Structure 1
């Protein structure tokens, strides 16, 4: 089973092709361009942020955006070569950072060599069984078959997951890169792959790499059932992501409370991968109607159970809107400057907020499996107790234009947030300013934490 390292993991999610400013199409540039060093130069920034690993988007040779793979065993030449990858892994390891790769195993690009050979060789060709091809009944010379795609995109060719050769290939790819030093896999479009496929493939990989972590991209549905039937460690928690920004925008924290209740039920069987931004969605700073509530979103992420990730740039308050058109991902997948010092000044206060809350989470590793209990809730304010076993914190959110006072029935002190406290009779009154928030711990624990930070 996966290693205990994931219980302490906080991930920095990077889309490499965008990060390094690669060309939109691979054919626009001949030869290898050694750009992975650009990402390597940001590893100290990631360490200073407080993360313990990198969740990378596609790095394998592809025709365009990385999700149209043409060679699973070769680094995309727009990023570099094997030597660049090995240097990157070594640099990350030296800094204590683990790497999770993006495995696009539901489909391949239409330029994938095996697919082209299948088209040329006809229905009797060895690799024709790798794909879901429908050949014309009376096939004439040069007439091509119809084929299954990923969600109707003709340049994304669905694999036939019932074919043993496809399973063998995916196992070989996973083993290859795990042996090269990565620690796990994000399984792209895992929901589109038959569940039985994962249940056959993953045990074969785990036999050689028992500490490997596997998280499947699942947008909606029965998350717990998917984990149970596939053997995957976790899925992407889109339910919580949506509830966070939607409840903040609507000023309706009952939606968040309901989502946290469902989230707690998932934690009974698995630990979801949590986020407030990724490479496929509008950035959180653009998603929120009131940017004062960006801190509230981050507080919920960092105090809820799960394996949290921060999408690179969100920690600098980057903006970007996802659009459903050709090039509609460009705004959320921008190139990063040569070095962190070249970032705009306006983003650094958000970076420091991330440092503070990531640091708090790392000092409370039990938050990985924490449950959230509502103590007091109104439409625009919420007081939660977050706990696991004997450990607990309190989180208070206020979305209103007026301040509030809420009571915790024990003596607690501030761990983070702009709040004022008063203690009486063993209880704590918490004064929260308009659009404010706070995190509290038991009085002795909070004092010990302050001493550790001084």
Structure 2
């Protein structure tokens, strides 16, 4: 089965990824079943997202669930802690006014063990040892129909896209049964799956999904920068090139499941370099809420261990602490660069020079290219270029020297 060709609008898509239960301060233990804030309270943040340069909101789970959202009890109801379907409709309308797309998180590998239909829809096994999560029976036609119905239901109510949670744990053949019927009614829907390890192109091709999460690149970005081993990043980008032959990966430097980038890098100095890579290589980029403000947060393997990386946000952007403003401005600059060069969505990387702490590459489209130079240590890096687009470099003729610890994005040299 050939990979599905993603909708044309995705070439220009840049997402802000939000975990609503955390963002809105809901009780994720499930003890308190109502919240003082609802999905409607995301609306004051939409102008902030638009000013950042992004044009999509990727929402974590919003359906009725037992605790953290990934233990669904009812796919057809908005979680009572997040309000009502009227609140969702208001959010959709506000997004439409601003030209913002909406992605929903579909938890279709498992359901809450106390889901009303758990006995008839599940295998009888728990998911990854979690007793409160019952695995859905993906060989059952009833489960195929359920997932189709859920996806179509919310696409009809304004969603543009689905993230398929734990898609790595679901047979690709299941998605190949589900998705044709969904696309028959909503041909412009974008479907992305959470896949951590494995043969990404084969999974995309056999499932019919548009894309999967690029965890290989995520890991190489933070560990290559942290460990001063840009060979790891360069290797991952060469593999990334091969993925682009089949599909455009969902790219990111943070999400709701991983330690914050600023914590992984133990400070702010290398955060710009990570963002430069994200915005100058092929992919559909997503910014995890708070990363644009250099938030920190450590994920821990314990009860409540995700709380630090899924924080509550204030009621309005003006209430954010000022110390993250520099990172927000840098995001605006580099997202602006990305939007001016939409061909970067499918750009391949050609290595120009490489050492442990310096890396220069050319991002190449069909008829366009940009030069990217990174220094993460004590050595400068020199590249040939035409015009400095952003970053910091000293020009001498057509040579640009990037000082230690700096970066630059340039047009290619003339001729």
Separation in 1, partners of 2:383, 2:251? 29
- 1:236 maps to 213
- 1:131 maps to 122
User: Deviation of residue 72 (structure 1)?
Assistant: 0.2
1:350-399 CA deviation, whole Å, 9 max, x = no partner? 00000000000000000000000111111110110111111000000001
Task: Please tell me whether the aligned partners of residues 56 and 101 of structure 2 are also in contact (alpha carbons under 8 angstroms).
Answer: yes
Separation in 2, partners of 1:278, 1:331? 12
Q: How does 1:7-406 map to 2 (within 5 A)?
A: 7-29=11-33, 34-115=37-118, 118=119, 127=120, 130-132=121-123, 147-402=124-379, 404-406=380-382
Separation in 1, partners of 2:79, 2:97? 24
Which structure has the bigger radius of gyration?
1
- 1:122 maps to none
Task: Please tell me whether the aligned partners of residues 53 and 99 of structure 1 are also in contact (alpha carbons under 8 angstroms).
Answer: yes
Separation in 1, partners of 2:199, 2:173? 16
User: Deviation of residue 444 (structure 1)?
Assistant: 8.0
Task: Please tell me whether the aligned partners of residues 220 and 233 of structure 2 are also in contact (alpha carbons under 8 angstroms).
Answer: yes
Secondary structure in structure 1 of the residue aligned to 2:269: helix
User: Paired residue for 1:437, among 407, 411, 414?
Assistant: 407
Unaligned 5+ segments in structure 2 are none
Separation in 1, partners of 2:346, 2:59? 24
Separation in 2, partners of 1:407, 1:229? 42
1:324-375 CA deviation, whole Å, 9 max, x = no partner? 1100000000000111111111000000000000000000000000000111
Separation in 2, partners of 1:16, 1:174? 19
User: Deviation of residue 443 (structure 1)?
Assistant: 6.5
Separation in 2, partners of 1:200, 1:60? 23
Secondary structure in structure 2 of the residue aligned to 1:210: coil
TM-score (norm 1): 0.89
Separation in 2, partners of 1:213, 1:344? 35
Task: Please tell me whether the aligned partners of residues 106 and 164 of structure 2 are also in contact (alpha carbons under 8 angstroms).
Answer: yes
Separation in 2, partners of 1:215, 1:29? 30
- 1:407 maps to 383
Separation in 2, partners of 1:23, 1:413? 51
Separation in 1, partners of 2:363, 2:108? 37
My pick for the range that moved more, 354-363 or 375-384, is 375-384
Unaligned 5+ segments in structure 1 are 119-126, 133-146, 446-454
Secondary structure in structure 1 of the residue aligned to 2:353: strand
- 2:392 maps to 418
Separation in 1, partners of 2:50, 2:178? 33
Separation in 1, partners of 2:267, 2:31? 42
Task: Please tell me whether the aligned partners of residues 20 and 335 of structure 1 are also in contact (alpha carbons under 8 angstroms).
Answer: yes
Secondary structure in structure 2 of the residue aligned to 1:58: coil
TM-score (norm 2): 0.97
Equivalenced residues, count? 411
Task: Please tell me whether the aligned partners of residues 373 and 383 of structure 2 are also in contact (alpha carbons under 8 angstroms).
Answer: no
Separation in 2, partners of 1:265, 1:251? 25
1:104-146 CA deviation, whole Å, 9 max, x = no partner? 000001121112xx3xxxxxxxx2xx211xxxxxxxxxxxxxx
Separation in 2, partners of 1:12, 1:36? 15
Task: Please tell me whether the aligned partners of residues 55 and 101 of structure 2 are also in contact (alpha carbons under 8 angstroms).
Answer: yes
Task: Please tell me whether the aligned partners of residues 268 and 294 of structure 2 are also in contact (alpha carbons under 8 angstroms).
Answer: no
Task: Please tell me whether the aligned partners of residues 9 and 51 of structure 1 are also in contact (alpha carbons under 8 angstroms).
Answer: yes
Task: Please tell me whether the aligned partners of residues 237 and 272 of structure 1 are also in contact (alpha carbons under 8 angstroms).
Answer: yes
Task: Please tell me whether the aligned partners of residues 25 and 37 of structure 2 are also in contact (alpha carbons under 8 angstroms).
Answer: no
User: Deviation of residue 420 (structure 1)?
Assistant: 1.3
Separation in 1, partners of 2:396, 2:198? 44
Task: Please tell me whether the aligned partners of residues 53 and 100 of structure 1 are also in contact (alpha carbons under 8 angstroms).
Answer: yes
Task: Please tell me whether the aligned partners of residues 395 and 438 of structure 1 are also in contact (alpha carbons under 8 angstroms).
Answer: yes
User: Deviation of residue 290 (structure 1)?
Assistant: 4.6
Task: Please tell me whether the aligned partners of residues 2 and 210 of structure 1 are also in contact (alpha carbons under 8 angstroms).
Answer: no
Secondary structure in structure 2 of the residue aligned to 1:177: helix
Task: Please tell me whether the aligned partners of residues 374 and 381 of structure 2 are also in contact (alpha carbons under 8 angstroms).
Answer: no
